Structure 1
Amino acid sequence: METLEEEQSTETADRLTNISWPTEIIEEIVSRLPVKSIIRFRSVSKPWLSLISDPSFTKLHSTRATAALFLSAYDPSTENHYFFSAPHAGGPVAHLMTLGNTRPADITKAEHLNGLVFISAKTFSSGYFQAFVINPSRRKIFELPPPDSNPNLTSGYIRLYVFGFDESRNEHKIVLITQFFRPAKLEVMIYSLSNHSWRKIDVEPPIGYSWDRFSYHGPSSVCINSVIHSMFLESTFWKLDFLAFDLRTEKFSVISIPQGVVPRFFLEINGCVGFVCHDLDLKNNEFYIWILQDYDDNRVLVRKTVEFPESWIEALERSSPPPLDAVNMDEFVISSSKVSGNVMSVPVYNKKTGCSKSLQFTFGHLVPCSETLQLDQIRFYIESMESL
């Protein structure tokens, strides 16, 4: 039986096909619809399938797509990690996948680019790493094959596993940095989603650094303008800096962070690199975000202050500092959340309006929700027609 939304999608398709409109007009209309509806329209006719399958249509749709949410939740009673997608405004969630035999620290922070989400996971009993690229809009999941050089990492361990987009080649890439013991070496490999293959590259450490002192710290990264930014710990001075990897030149560089600033995780804010600090001033209801501006020339870091409502203080005292993610500089999803039955409430704060709201997500019977289920991350993404 079709849902009301599916019936409306079918009626819309019927109306459009019964009207002799130019292809350009139909493209304008369809490109503004949700991915779920567009996928259904592919079966209307061969011309519609050709239109929707064209890469130019995928690119046009990405410029008009709406935001949605990628969520992960962990149940320590079963050691299962659950992954969902949900509408930006809340509502029923869609179950994407479940990973068993995991612990909270074994799942990387989800990284999102162009509607795709990347996560990696380590099964703690075997030490085996898995990596997945997910298109939540199309509910498609691609598991990366392990590198041929050392599929089980029996003689080494992963230092860095991050997701990026090379704008010069219009190509999504995954960068894997592995530390080996026998012999001692650092290996950098890149997986291309275009040709579905791994390749090893020879890279030098950033100027002034050496690989024997390389230490990665922090659960997140962000890719802006073809450059992946993650956290780098220079062990000699115990100082955190940005480790930047340019996908175009395939070279590393380091961006200094002011002394005493401790980043928690990265965000993309209005096209700039931003990171949330551990600084949390409960007395003044504030936390701080640093934004990297004037990137190409002076790389200026500017601190922004975000005020949160007093009603959140008690929850923030019990949890880690906010937020979990940001749509832009104005709207933040906060880390505190509650699960009651099959409903999860997530607070969102809009800095521009000074208003807060609570998004309600319903799980239905998708997962056996228990009192121990914990939301551990939320990521905004833009709906995408991108094929895996």
Structure 2
Amino acid sequence: MAELVDKQMEETEDDPIMPDEVDPSEGSLQQNISISSLMLMDGGSAGSLEMIPSGSKSSSYRSSENCAKFPDHIKQKEDMEIQDVVRQYALCFLPAKSLCRFKTVSKEWLRWINCPFFVHTQTNHFRHISGLFCQFPGESPSFMSLNPVAYGVPNPTLCFLPEPVDARTSCNGLLGCQSRLGDNAYYICNPVTEGWRMVPKPNLYHGPETAIALAFEPDILNFEAQYELVCAVTLPDRTALQFEIYSSRTNSWRVCNAVFLELDALPLNGDGFYTRGFVYWETKSGAVLVFDLKEEEYGIVSLPPSRKPTGALTDMRGELCYLLPHKEDDAWSIEVYGNMDMSLQCIIPLHSEFLGHLVDGECRALAFVNDDTLIITLGTKVIAYHARAHRMEWVSDARTDGFVKYFPYVNSFCTCGPFHA
């Protein structure tokens, strides 16, 4: 029996149909085929040398006996070299900019990073906030990287799109933009891959007061990105809001039955953001409009009475929070409000010895990212302040000519679906 198996193995190795190298995504399938072939050669076929009754040997015994020697084209874990381990298990945790550089390591790495399976895996494993997109009135979008060596996009002005746009919302690597031209068309794009999709024309009239939010949650079971663009539309004939949602799954819009009629909470203070099934918009009246994307219902959450224009509504470790800068004597701190009653949860001190001369400038909160990092403007600087380590990093120079919307961005390879004109 052993001689027969060895002979069959030699013929398999010499077979020109079997490749010397196998794509990692196909390895498991070919391994199963090889193991099945070996099992058929032993005891399970009419032409075998030895008939083994079904009850005399267990399947685990037959597998261990016949699979002692694997085909040479299948790499066992103990035979993998360090570059194989890095390629298969580590690269998916890296940002897109670093991966674009690693494409030059070898042709094998180039094929691996470009394959759809790896793109899907990286989208699900890399969720680190890499920087902030911002939009100044009358200017092209810009990107501020938290680490220019690791994070970046080739065209932060989004000039790869067919017309000039304003960047308005971001979620897990995708951007929601709107044309500056008369049609006000919406676009969904990935600034890393420069892939984009033009959203069909909505059913309702989306005027300048319309506030939007992109909702995208990568799913390990779905290779094609499925996202929704949620729009709070002000009805022209009455002071009310209605919600219209674009779905990439159907490439169409739907109008929700819910109508927001609480006039004392209007209007909305710009675009919102999505986290864990809910969309949040801050209103100018000191409240938060909450929209449940699954149930398509809305609710109202009050902001702290001490709120200021320098505060920011943000996602903090998956929960809705409000960041409010506070200065006492010569020391700045960030008050964190949360829960449904927006009560004070904690105070994060900004140690003056790390801020230096910037302590005399005005402080504005922008966002809380990556579990422990505050993004703030202080004086003329945009700063990333690491709360646990009490460490400050300069991000960019700040603009002082008015408040501008900043939104966090993930440096991901996620796709935005096929192009639709």
Q: Which band: TM-score by shorter chain? A: 0.5 to 0.7
Aligned counterpart in structure 1 of residue 130 of structure 2, from 25, 45, 68: 68
Pick the aligned partner of 2:279 from 213, 228, 240. 228
* Matching residue within 120, 132, 139 for 1:80: 139
**Tell me, which stretches of 5 or more residues in structure 2 are unaligned?**
1-20, 25-72, 78-83, 160-164, 417-421
Match of 1:382 in 2: 410
Q: Cα distance 1:197–1:225, how it changes in 2: closer, same or farther (>3 A)?
A: same
Partner of 2:255 in structure 1? 200
Task: Give, in angstroms, the shift of residue 273 of structure 1.
Answer: 1.3
In 2, Cα distance between equivalents of 1:144 and 1:216: 25
Q: Deviations over 1:350-385 (max 9, x none)?
A: 221222232469xxxxxxxxx999995654433322
Higher strand share: 1
SS of 2:157's partner is strand
Relative distance call for 1:301 and 1:193 in structure 2 (3 A) is farther
Contact 1:85–1:96 (CA<8 Å) still a contact in 2? no
Whose RCO is larger (CA < 8 A, sep 6+)? 1
Two-structure CA RMSD over aligned residues (Å): 4.6
Instruction: Please list, as runs of the form range in 1=range in 2, the aligned pairs for 1:363-374 lying within 5 A after superposition.
Output: none
CA contact (8 A) 1:219 1:265 kept: no
Structure with bigger gyration radius: 2
Match in the other structure for 1:7:
none
Match among 315, 321, 330 for residue 268 of structure 1: 315
Match of residue 343, structure 2, among 294, 297, 301: 301
* Cα distance change on mapping 1:119 and 1:352 into 2, 3 Å: farther
Please point out which of 181, 186, 190 is paired with 2:236.
181
Aligned residues: 326
The answer on whether the counterparts of 2:281 and 2:289 sit within 8 Å (CA) in structure 1 is: yes
Counterpart contact for 1:84–1:95, Cα < 8 Å:
no
The within-5 A match list for 1:141-156 is: 141-150=196-205, 153=206, 156=207
2:210/2:234 contact within 8 Å kept? yes
Report the equivalent of 1:53: 116
Taking structure 1 as reference, are residues 225 and 34 closer, same or farther at Cα in structure 2, changes over 3 Å only? closer
Structure showing the higher helix proportion among its residues: 2
Distance 1:262 1:376 in 2: 15
**Matches of 1:29 and 1:318 in 2, distance apart?**
42
| Aligned: 1:347 with 2:394 | no
The 3-state SS of whatever aligns with 2:295 is: coil
Residues 1-388 of structure 1: pairs in structure 2 closer than 5 A: 21=75, 26-36=87-97, 52-54=115-117, 58-59=120-121, 61-64=123-126, 66-72=128-134, 74=136, 79-84=138-143, 86=145, 88=147, 94-97=154-157, 110-120=168-178, 129-150=184-205, 153=206, 156-165=207-216, 171-182=226-237, 186-205=241-260, 210-233=261-284, 239-262=285-308, 264-277=311-324, 279-293=325-339, 301-310=343-352, 312=355, 315=358, 319=362, 321-336=363-378, 346-359=382-395, 376=404, 378-388=406-416
Query: Do the aligned residues in 2 keep the contact of 1:267 with 1:325 (CA within 8 Å)?
Result: yes
Compared with structure 1, are the counterparts of its residues 189 and 65 closer, same or farther at alpha carbon in structure 2 (3 Å cutoff)? closer
Provide closer, same or farther for how the CA distance between residues 143 and 269 of structure 1 changes in structure 2, counting only shifts above 3 A: same
Contact 1:120 1:130 in 2 (8 A): yes
CA change 1:174–1:372 in 2 (3 A) is same
Amino acid at match of 1:115: G
Cα distance in 2 between the residues matched to 1:172 and 1:186:
22
Q: 1:219 to 1:30 in 2, by over 3 A?
A: same
Q: Distance in 2 between matches of 1:190 and 1:36?
A: 32
Equivalent pair of 1:83/1:96 in contact (CA under 8 Å): yes
What is the CA–CA distance in structure 1 between the aligned matches of 2:195 and 2:114, rounded to whole Å? 21
TM-score (norm 1): 0.65
Quote how far apart the aligned CAs of 1:69 are. 1.6
Q: CA deviation at 1:82?
A: 3.1
| Cα deviation 1:116-144 (Å, max 9, x = unaligned) | 23345766xx6x64544332332334443
TM-score, length basis structure 2: 0.61
Q: How far apart, CA to CA, are the structure 2 residues paired with 1:139 and 1:51?
A: 14
Letter in 1 for 2:277: S
Kindly state the Cα deviation for residue 226 of structure 1 after the two structures are TM-superposed.
0.3
- State the one-letter code of the partner of 2:269: G
Cα offset, 1:162, TM superposition:
1.7
CA distance in 2, matches of 1:143, 1:276: 34
One-letter amino acid of the structure 2 residue matched with residue 357 of structure 1 = E
